[in-house]
Amino acid sequence: MQDSGYPVATLAEATHRADLVIYWACNPIHAHPRHMTRYPVFPRGFFRERGRKDRTLIVVDPRKTDTAKIADIHLQIEQHKDYELISALRAALNGLTIEADKVAGIPTEVIYQVVDTCKSAQYGALFFGMGITMTRGKHRNIDNAIRLVIDLNRYTKFILTPMRGHYNVNGFNQVASWITGYSYAIDFSRGYPVYNPGETSTINLLKRGEVDAMLNIAADAGAHFPQKAIEHIAKIPLICIEPHKTPTTELANIILPPALAGIECDGIAYRMDGVPIELKKIIEPPEGVLPDREIIERLIKKVKEYL
């Protein structure tokens, strides 16, 4: 995003307008079970009165997933060849000749057909899964996909949406940005925010062993961080603010279980399309269990007493 930008839309935009929907490296039938039925594929939209019948569905996935099975076009891409296929689509779109017979396992003529389908759509929506960010090429895949969507906007309307799995990751990025100017990996040690991913990101700091204590809030470092970072976590005091038992809490010296947002306390979450959702409190938390906001406020108060 910091290299190319971010052409997106809120979820119902695709419901109302999309006549072409592409799922790339994601299998919403299993991973986001309500996505297709609620937003871009099956429902009737303002300008798409017949729902599914008004839309072409393309799935890009090396496996014959359940989502791929109901697609109009399944591009059975070779593993880890996302970058190649996106580049080929861009090349075809920009009028270049592809000399190979196949790219990433997809016949060249199919690539040209898909580009035609995209160009002749009135509104295309590309949803990409975390798969694309985890395979070889990592964030360059997303960057290239963003470039593809931007290129397509010269011909028609096209938007892109990352299929983020984790709850309210966006909320953290948003708040961090308005408070500091940076969305993550922020180092305050110089008295002002410094951002240099690769240097100031959590994983790098842990791997270099520069961290001598860790406060982990609702993230699951134990499950997602590389081995070397986890090894360092095991050596230092770890405090977890976390309501569930997770691989990270297994390593914790102290666990502060907070109230559950949206059940035991209120709060705001930012959906992946940036729409803020207010979470309501439904029941009282167990006695003595505090919302994470209050736990942190009390921690700050205590820290200030020592300053």
Partner 1 sequence: MELIIKNGIVFDPANGIDGEKMDICVKDGKIVESVSDNAKVIDASNCVVMPGGVDPHSHIAGPKVNTGRIMRPEDSLMEIYKKKGQFKSGTGFSIPSTYKTGYQYSELGYTFCVEAAMPPLKAKHVHEEFVNTPQIEKTAMPLFGNNWFVFNYIIEKDFKALAAYVAWVLKVSRGYAIKIVNPGGTEAWGWGMNVHSLDDPVPGFDITPREIIRGLAKVNEMLGLPHSIHVHPNNLGHPGNWETTLETMDCVKEIKPAPRVGNRETVYHNTHVQFHSYGGTSWKDFEAKGVEIAEYVNKNKHVTIDVGQITLDETTTMTADGPMEFDLYMTTRLKWANCDVEVETGSGVVPFIYSPKGPVYSLQWAIGLEIFLYTKAMDRIMLTTDHPNAGPFTRYPRVIAWLMSKKYRDEWLYNKVHKWAHQRSRIGDSDREYTLYEIAQVTRTNAAKVFGLTEKGHLGVGADADIAIYEIDPEEKDGKKIEKAFRYVKYTIKRGEILVKDGELVNEKYYETWYVDVKVGEELYNEVLNDIRSKWPKLYSVSFENYPVSDKLANSWKVVKIDATDIN
Q: Which positions lie near partner 1, rule CB under 8 A? A: 1-13, 15-17, 38-39, 44, 46-47, 122-123, 150, 153-159, 173-175, 177-183, 188, 191-193, 195, 266, 268, 270, 273-278
Q: How far is the CB of 286 from partner 1 (least distance, A)?
A: 23
Closer residue to partner 1, CB minimum distance, 34 or 287 = 34
Tell me the C-alpha distance between 123 and 132, whole Å: 22
Phi and psi of 155, rounded to 5°? Answer: -105, -40
Closer Cβ to partner 1, 100 or 175, answer by number: 175
Query: Rounded CA gap, 266 and 254, in Å?
Result: 24
| Residue 297 C-beta: closest distance to partner 1, Å | 15
Q: Which CB atom, from 17 or from 207, has the smaller least distance to partner 1?
A: 17
The SS3 assignment for 213 reads: coil
As measured in angstroms, the least distance from the Cβ of 155 to partner 1 is 8
Please, what is the Cα angle at 191 between 185 and 192, to 5 degrees? 50
What's the sign of the alpha-carbon dihedral 224, 226, 231, 237? negative
- Within 10 A of 15 (CB to CB), how many other CB atoms are there? 21
The bridge status of strand 157-163 relative to strand 186-187 is unpaired
Least CB distance from residue 268 to partner 1, whole Å?
Answer: 6
For every residue of 43-69, DSSP letters joined together read: S-BTTBTTGGGG-EEEEE-SS--HHHH
Nearer to partner 1, 17 or 232 (CB): 17
- Of 170 and 248, the one with the shorter C-beta distance to partner 1 is 170
Shortest distance, position 110 Cβ to partner 1, whole Å? 25
CB of 222 vs partner 1, minimal distance in Å: 27
Residue 289 beta carbon to partner 1: minimum distance, rounded to whole angstroms: 20
In sequence order, which residues have a C-beta less than 8 Å from that of residue 166 and are 6 or more positions away?
none
Q: Could you tell me which residues come within 8 angstroms of residue 306 by beta carbon, excluding any fewer than 6 positions away?
A: none
Residue with smaller CB distance to partner 1, 178 or 306:
178
Q: Which C-beta is closer to partner 1: that of 167 or that of 188?
A: 188
* Run of H or E residues at 100: none
Residue 269 phi, psi dihedral angles, 5° rounding:
-115, 145
